[in-house]
C-alpha cells in the first residue's frame, strides 16, 4: 500500500510502498503531483528507475526540458568525462534555485542516484515558502515591492572569487534577470527568490543589499526550514524548483557519485 510521511514538519514528503509499475496508474501520479506541490520535495527511496523509466515518469509530470535537442536526461557528476557541465556543477555546492535567470523557471527537477559518494554528497533543501510564511509581519511588509537582479556571475563568484577577465567575459555574456524578492504566484502562494544567483536588490546601497540577501538566506536555510537527503543508490528525489533552495553537500570529486537528472518545463514566469 502506498503511504506518505512528512520528511520534516515544514515540508517534504517520503513515499513508501510504491513500485515502478504503480507509476502507470494516473491516480497514483496525481497523488504524487499534489504531494509535490504542497510539500515541495518528494522522496521515493530505492525505486531504482533506469533512464527509460525516469523519462516515462518525468513525462507524466509535464513536458521534459531538452538541455540540447533530443537531450532530455543528463548526468550530474563532477567527472568531466561523464558530465559536460562538470565545471559549472561546482556552483551547486552553494544554496541556489535553478533557472532564476530565465523568464520561466522549471517547475520541477528529478534526480535519481545511480552511484553515491562514500562520504558526504547529500543534497540539502530549504523551503522558501515556509521561510516566507514564518517571517514577522513587519518584515513581510518591508520586502513587498523589492526586486532582485539574478546573475550567473554572482553564483560563479562564490566558486571563483577572483575570476580571470576571460571567465568574467563568459559569465557576463549570459543574461541577467530581475525578479520580485517575494514571488506571489497565480494561486496566491508566496515564496522568496534568493540564493547564489541573487546579485543585488534594485535601488538599494550595495552593502545594505548584500546584508539583506545574506540575512534572508541565513533565515531560510536554518534547520527548521531545511532537510538533508543522504542518498542511497536507486533513490528518486523530485523538488519544486520554484520554491526550494538546494545545494549539494561536499564530496570527493573523484568519487563515483553520479545522478541522472530530468527537468519539467514550468508554466509560470517569475514576477
Ligand atoms: C541540480 C543540483 C544538487 C546535487 O541538479 O540542479 O543542484 O546534489 N544538484 O547534485
Ligand atoms: Mn540545482
In sequence order, what DSSP letters do the residues of 195-220 get, joined into one string? Answer: STTEEEETTS-HHHHHHHHHHHHHHH
pLDDT score recorded for residue 87: 78
Distance in angstroms (rounded) separating the CA atoms of residues 221 and 227: 9
**Which of 101-116 are b and which e, b meaning 16 or more Cβ less than 10 Å from the residue's Cβ?**
beeebbbbbbbbbbeb
8 A C-beta contact, residue 79 and residue 90? no
Q: Whose CA is nearest to atom 6 of ligand 1?
A: 98
Distances (CA, A) of 194 to 41, 149, 179, 214: 18, 10, 10, 9
Nearest ligand to the C-alpha atom of residue 238: 1
Q: Does domain 3-264 bear CATH number 3.60.130.10?
A: yes
Q: Say how many Å lie between the CA of residue 109 and the centre of ligand 2.
A: 8
Q: What is the pTM of this model?
A: 0.96
Task: Report strand pairing: 41-44 vs 13-16.
Answer: parallel
| Ligand 2 ion local residues (Cβ < 5 A) | 98
pLDDT score recorded for residue 1: 84
pLDDT score recorded for residue 128: 98
Stated length of the chain = 271
Residues with CB under 6 A from ligand 1: 76, 92, 98, 109, 111, 123, 246, 248, 259, 261
Tell me which residue of 172, 65, 44 sits closest to 113, measured CA to CA: 44
212 CB-near residues (< 8 Å, 6+ apart): 201, 204
pLDDT score recorded for residue 234: 98
Domain residue spans of the chain: 3-264
In order along its 271 residues, the chain shows pLDDT tens digits of 899 999 999 999 999 999 999 999 999 999 999 999 999 999 999 999 999 999 999 999 999 999 888 899 999 999 999 988 777 888 899 999 999 999 999 999 999 999 999 999 999 999 999 999 999 999 999 999 999 999 999 999 999 999 999 999 999 999 999 999 999 999 999 999 999 999 999 999 999 999 999 999 999 999 999 999 999 999 999 999 999 999 999 999 899 999 999 999 999 999 9
Tell me which residue of 94, 113, 70 sits closest to 238, measured CA to CA: 113
Amino acid at each position: 500500500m502506498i503511504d506518505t510521511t512528512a520528511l520534516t514538519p515544514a515540508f517534504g514528503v517520503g513515499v513508501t510502498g510504491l513500485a515502478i509499475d504503480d507509476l502507470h496508474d494516473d491516480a497514483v501520479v496525481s497523488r504524487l503531483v499534489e504531494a509535490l506541490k504542497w510539500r515541495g520535495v518528494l522522496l521515493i527511496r530505492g525505486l531504482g528507475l533506469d533512464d527509460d523509466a525516469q523519462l516515462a515518469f518525468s513525462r507524466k509530470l509535464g513536458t521534459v526540458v531538452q538541455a540540447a535537442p533530443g537531450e532530455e536526461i543528463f548526468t550530474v557528476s563532477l567527472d568531466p568525462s561523464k558530465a559536460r557541465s562538470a565545471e559549472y556543477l561546482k556552483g551547486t555546492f552553494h544554496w541556489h534555485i535553478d533557472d532564476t535567470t530565465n523568464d520561466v523557471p522549471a517547475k520541477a527537477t528529478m534526480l535519481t542516484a545511480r552511484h553515491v559518494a562514500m562520504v558526504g554528497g547529500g543534497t540539502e533543501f530549504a523551503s522558501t515558502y515556509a521561510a516566507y510564511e514564518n517571517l514577522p509581519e513587519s518584515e513581510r511588509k518591508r520586502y513587498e515591492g523589492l526586486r532582485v537582479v539574478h546573475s550567473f556571475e554572482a553564483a560563479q563568484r562564490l566558486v571563483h572569487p577572483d575570476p580571470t577577465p576571460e571567465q568574467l567575459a563568459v559569465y557576463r555574456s549570459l543574461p541577467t534577470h530581475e525578479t520580485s524578492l517575494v514571488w506571489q504566484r497565480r494561486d496566491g502562494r508566496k515564496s522568496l527568490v534568493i540564493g547564489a544567483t541573487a546579485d543585488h536588490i534594485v535601488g538599494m546601497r550595495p552593502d545594505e543589499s548584500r546584508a539583506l540577501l545574506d540575512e534572508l538566506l541565513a533565515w531560510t536555510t536554518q534547520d527548521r526550514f531545511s532537510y538533508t537527503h543522504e542518498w542511497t543508490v536507486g533513490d528518486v528525489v523530485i523538488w519544486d524548483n520554484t520554491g526550494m533552495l538546494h545545494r549539494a553537500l561536499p564530496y570527493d570529486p573523484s568519487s563515483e557519485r553520479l545522478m541522472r537528472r530530468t527537468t519539467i518545463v514550468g508554466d509560470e514566469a517569475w514576477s
